[in-house]
């Protein structure tokens, strides 16, 4: 399962660097947080025994439910004027502009290395890329690049969290035999599976359940019932006092609607700053739709950001989806 060559890529890059930055995509999800903290713990525990290296994680807005992970208080989101890292490691992120403000240090770093599983990652933006588009998660990619004996419980917990989230608790089609084997190996390190799954995936606050209910109630079936769509505007988000991390289960519930090929969920992060999430039940490749609108992702889960009015975003998207549905 573990390729010698790949574990060397990580070890060699780290050995040659005195200062290392780690970052993932903006609005980090379970896989992104798991990968960033999993790698941070792994490097600190195995390659920095006497703290001679400076290792920094850049991450903003870590969802509260992930804060049980070791070192979840370490990530920062502060940037000095002049700073150059020997090595910048990008995780779960398929383009430089999704790094947010951290892109500044990425651009000035002496060396860059990216671990990812997004099929839309062209690799042009980074010096070295370890990309496995058929792997469930970046955490699965990282596991294969790490030395299994060097993975501690705290690293295992973070990687397990990432796999759980990107596979929708081992139910999406990206869950392969290898995914389950790796999850098993992580469990053998002592991970409390129920704590991770219930505590970070299924448990909802009262308000999260209310907003889920509202989005389901207001959802629409479109394009002859092949597309289900729901959205939340900025005003409603403020009314409930929710942020993007409170909305994570909505798209999954829309997707399991019988007869539907594509599920769409759009929310307004800031006035006229929209985030579109797409899920497919297999026939439509939603990463193509997302890439067309400037985003990316996977065949069955993708997304993009768009500026403008909600109704324009919906109209434009439906044109794209109707073409794709015709092609099938």
**Residue ranges in contact with Mn ion by CB under 5 A:** 31, 92, 137-138, 166
CB of 96 to ligand 5GP, least distance (A): 11
Q: Is 126 in the site for ligand 5GP (CB under 6 A)?
A: no
Length of the chain: 328
Between 95 and 179, name the residue whose CB sits nearer to ligand 5GP. 95
By CB under 6 A, the residues from 10 to 29 that bind ligand 5GP are 25, 29
> Taking CB within 5 to 8 Å according to partner kind, which of Mn ion, ligand 5GP, none is near residue 302?
ligand 5GP
What tokens does 46 get? Answer: 């195995």
Number of H helices, E strands in the chain: 12, 11
Q: Is 301 in the site for ligand 5GP (CB under 6 A)?
A: yes
> Taking CB within 5 to 8 Å according to partner kind, which of Mn ion, ligand 5GP, none is near residue 277?
ligand 5GP
Identified binder of ligand 5GP from the candidate list 298, 300, 313, 317, rule CB under 6 A:
298
Q: Is 295 in the site for ligand 5GP (CB under 6 A)?
A: yes
Separation between Cα atoms, residue 42 and residue 57, nearest integer Å: 13
Provide DSSP, 53-104: SEEEEE-----GGGTTSTTTT--B----SS---SEEEEES-SSGGGGGGGHH
Separation between Cα atoms, residue 161 and residue 180, nearest integer Å: 13
By CB under 6 A, the residues from 106 to 125 that bind ligand 5GP are 118, 120
Between 92 and 208, name the residue whose CB sits nearer to Mn ion. 92
**CA of 139: how far to CAs of 30, 91, 204, 284, 324, in Å?**
10, 9, 24, 26, 31
Angle at 275 between CA 273 and CA 278, to 5 degrees: 155
Between 29 and 157, name the residue whose CB sits nearer to ligand 5GP. 29
Identified binder of ligand 5GP from the candidate list 129, 297, 321, 324, rule CB under 6 A:
297
Residue ranges in contact with ligand 5GP by CB under 6 A: 25, 29, 94-95, 98, 118, 120, 277, 295-298, 301-305
């Amino acid at each position: 399962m573990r390729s010698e060559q790949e574990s060397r890529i990580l070890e060699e890059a780290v050995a040659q660097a005195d200062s290392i930055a780690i970052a993932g995509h903006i609005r980090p999800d379970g896989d992104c947080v798991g990968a960033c903290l999993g790698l941070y713990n792994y490097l600190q525990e195995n390659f920095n025994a006497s703290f001679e290296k400076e290792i920094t994680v850049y991450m903003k807005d870590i969802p509260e439910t992930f804060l049980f992970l070791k070192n979840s208080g370490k990530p920062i989101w502060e940037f000095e004027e002049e700073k150059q890292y020997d090595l910048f490691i990008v995780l779960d992120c398929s383009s430089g502009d999704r790094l947010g403000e951290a892109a500044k240090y990425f651009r000035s770093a002496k060396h860059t290395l990216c671990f990812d599983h997004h099929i839309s990652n062209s690799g042009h933006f980074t010096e070295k890329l370890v990309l496995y588009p058929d792997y469930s998660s970046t955490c699965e990619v990282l596991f294969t690049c790490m030395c299994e004996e060097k993975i501690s419980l705290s690293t295992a917990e973070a990687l397990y969290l990432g796999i759980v989230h990107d596979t929708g608790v081992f139910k999406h089609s990206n869950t392969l035999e290898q995914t389950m084997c790796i999850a098993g190996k992580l469990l053998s390190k002592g991970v409390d599976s129920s704590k991770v799954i219930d505590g970070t995936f299924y448990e909802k606050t009262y308000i999260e359940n209310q907003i889920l209910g509202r989005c389901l109630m207001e959802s629409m079936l479109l394009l002859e019932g092949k597309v289900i769509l729901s959205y939340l505007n900025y005003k409603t988000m403020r009314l409930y006092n929710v942020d993007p991390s409170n909305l994570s289960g909505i798209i999954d519930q829309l997707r399991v609607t019988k007869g539907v090929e594509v599920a769409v969920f759009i929310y307004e992060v800031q006035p006229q700053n929209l985030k579109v999430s797409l899920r497919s039940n297999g026939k439509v490749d939603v990463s193509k739709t997302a890439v067309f609108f400037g985003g990316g992702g996977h065949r069955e889960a993708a997304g993009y950001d768009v500026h403008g009015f909600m109704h324009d975003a919906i109209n434009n998207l439906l044109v794209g989806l109707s073409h794709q549905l015709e092609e099938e």
